[in-house]
Amino acid sequence: MKRCLISCVLIACAALALRAEPYKADWASLDKRPVPQWWQEAKFGIFIHWGVYAVPAYAPIDEANVYAKYSEHYDNRMRSKNAAFTNFHARTYGDRVTYADFA
């Protein structure tokens, strides 16, 4: 009986794996993902996580730029051509790497 149950579970898992679409590392693929129903029904909520914005891992250490220390503002600092951020980015990742490449 145990052997039959394990076989059925393995067959079901294999069938699900065969139906899966291959992963594509692009924005179009990510945009096709459905939004969870609970997200649509939520009246209020705050969702914080350690995300893509934290990957570059840079913030100034001087007290003059205390508000630039938040990693979630990295993309904004790059778009506004903030010298501290753009210099760090070019030196560390190169001129051709964009913020979207971290996703």
Interval 13-50: pLDDT, tens: 676 666 667 777 888 888 888 888 888 887 776 666 66
Contact 92, 57 (CB under 8 A): no
38 occurs within a structural domain: no
Q: Is the pLDDT of residue 88 over 80?
A: yes
Number of domains in the chain: 1
∠ at Cα 55 (98, 65), nearest 5°?
90
pLDDT at residue 49 in the model? 60
**Token pair recorded at residue 24:** 């594509």
Classify residue 47: in a domain, yes or no: no
Amino acid at site 56: P
Q: Per the domain annotation, does 42 fall within a domain?
A: no
Please indicate, yes or no, if residue 79 is contained in any of the structural domains. Answer: yes
- Report how far residue 31's alpha carbon sits from residue 29's, in angstroms, rounded to the nearest whole number: 5
Instruction: Provide the residue range defining the domain that includes 94.
Output: 2-33+53-102
Per-residue confidence at 94, pLDDT binned at 50, 70, 90? very high
Does 14 fall in a domain?
yes
* Residue 43 domain flag: no
Is 86 inside any structural domain? Answer: yes
Does any domain span residue 13?
A: yes
Please return the burial class of 43, using the count of CB atoms within 10 Å of its CB with bins 0-12, 13-18 and 19+.
exposed
Which pTM does this prediction carry?
0.46
Phi, psi of 97 (to 5 degrees): -85, 125
